[in-house]
Structure 1
């Protein structure tokens, strides 16, 4: 089974996470397949990239069971974060306008990946949460760049309190561009694509570059800091306890809370 599907037609590349039965987990195999699809879209020099997830979720994020089973979780997460960050950087830097389509949960790195797009279009079933700190990890995947999208204190709330936010709540804070009923989501996305395709591609390329470079001039450095931070957290006592507790479906008892 292909973990990521890629189709190109009439200047539009459609990239779909295709492991819907497992909630499209962003494990190493999935991220590698996603990287190949994104590179292909760049080679094809498309005008618009539409990024979506198959099944009941956009993505539940990282495969926590793999973290728990790893002999060297620090190295596993370092490799995975670096791979994901290369994809995020590619989405930011490519000339194509990137549209993410979120139906169901976008959790952890799934939220980070969705927010790497230039426009986020969501169905009413969409739910957004980071949840890293709940399992003793620090956010990655470009999560720190949410400060530019939704503001510092909103981003801190999302990172520290881990609320599960609806599509309308995310639209209200500026991350989501449009919300549609799930049964109308596809037609809503097609209207966005049509609007982009009818506009000047050259002007859109310049607009994307200007706005991104102004809003997040230190994006690459931020992604590197995220990698170093989550790598350290993965092999820390809190990180190991958080992952173990998540897999055992119990409340974690973090060692750092009891110095």
Structure 2
């Protein structure tokens, strides 16, 4: 596992998985996916009861590595490759017997947003914010975004996905995506308190409860993720995707085919 991408530490039933590229906003690319999958495999081998997923730096995760997308000879191929392994990460988080606690500071954007939503419980610093942003760069949603419908309802999910508004930690809590909002300086302490509260409970009952509730809400996780991957690959072949990602890197407004510029 590339320790400069994802760190792992296990002790007394608690697995800590830390995204360590805060200098790059903890962007998601193939190397990140492989490192995260390795960390999750170690948590499974260690029979972790609780997984705490956190990040270094100013942002939790700014989403997919747009630099890689812009530089790719075939955008559909690179999107398909990254999406496939990212979906394995999301599926592993949701299918794991361990209770997953996400600790969020700063922005959770793009695929970083559904990564947070894949956790079972979320502690967010008051400065945290959440935005999807896929259609903003000419791409369809990915990373388990479609599963948000089960959490917050169809029309709220549509609003987030189509308008790409940035919502605050308090707004995310009101939607049910965040469990607890805390002062920025208390994020680590409050996350640890929640993790240890879970560790003091009945492991088998907690794992069974997670499986039952996840199964009731999201009975076909992998099917939903595969539909996202197919749609993303298809959209990646469209000129709007190349224009959107290039405009994002160039920090300019994209000009999508057929769009009406205000």
CA distance in structure 2 between the partners assigned to 1:190 and 1:35 by the alignment? 23
Aligned equivalent of 2:43: 41
**Normalization by structure 1: what TM-score?**
0.98
| Aligned-partner Cα distance in 1 for 2:99–2:235 | 34
Q: Is the Cα contact below 8 Å between 1:123 and 1:180 reproduced in 2?
A: yes
Structure 1's consecutive aligned runs of 4 or more residues displaced over 2 angstroms after TM superposition are none
User: Per-residue displacement from partner, 1:15-62 (whole Å, max 9, x unpaired)?
Assistant: 000001011000111111011001110111111000011110110000
Structure-2 residue corresponding to 1:205:
207
Equivalent residue number for residue 238 of structure 1? 240
Partner Cα separation in structure 1 for residue 46 and residue 238 of structure 2: 43
Aligned residue for 1:13?
Answer: 15
Equivalent of residue 117 in structure 2, options 115, 118, 123: 115
Match of 1:101 in 2: 103
Distance 1:13 1:218 in 2: 27
- Partner SS for 1:189: helix
Q: Which residue of 2 aligns with 1:184?
A: 186
Shift of 1:72: 0.9
CA positional deviation for 1:257: 3.2
- What do residues 179-233 of structure 1 show as CA deviations (whole Å, max 9, x unaligned)? 1001011111111112101110111011101100000112110000000111111
Q: Distance in 2 between matches of 1:187 and 1:68?
A: 39
State which of 242, 248, 251 in structure 2 corresponds to 1:249: 251
Output the aligned Cα RMSD. Answer: 1.0
User: Residue 57 of structure 1 aligns with which residue?
Assistant: 59
Q: Match of 2:252, SS?
A: coil
Cross-structure match for 1:136: 138
Paired residues of 1:238 and 1:256 also in contact (CA < 8 A): no
CA distance in 1, matches of 2:154, 2:58: 30
Q: Deviations over 1:117-169 (max 9, x none)?
A: 11111001101000000000011110100011111111111000101011000
Q: Find 1:66's aligned residue among 56, 68, 74.
A: 68
Query: Separation in 1 of the partners of 2:258 and 2:122?
Result: 36
Q: Counterpart of 1:4?
A: 6
- Residue aligned with 1:84, SS: helix
**What is the number of equivalent residue pairs in this alignment?**
258
Encode CA deviations 1:84-113: one digit per residue, 9 max, x unaligned.
000111111110000111100000001111
The alpha carbon displacement at 1:256 in A equals 4.2
Aligned to 2:91: 89
Q: Distance in 2 between matches of 1:145 and 1:27?
A: 21
Question: Could you tell me how far apart the structure 2 residues matched to 1:22 and 1:245 are?
Answer: 19
**Equivalent residue of 2:77, what SS?**
helix
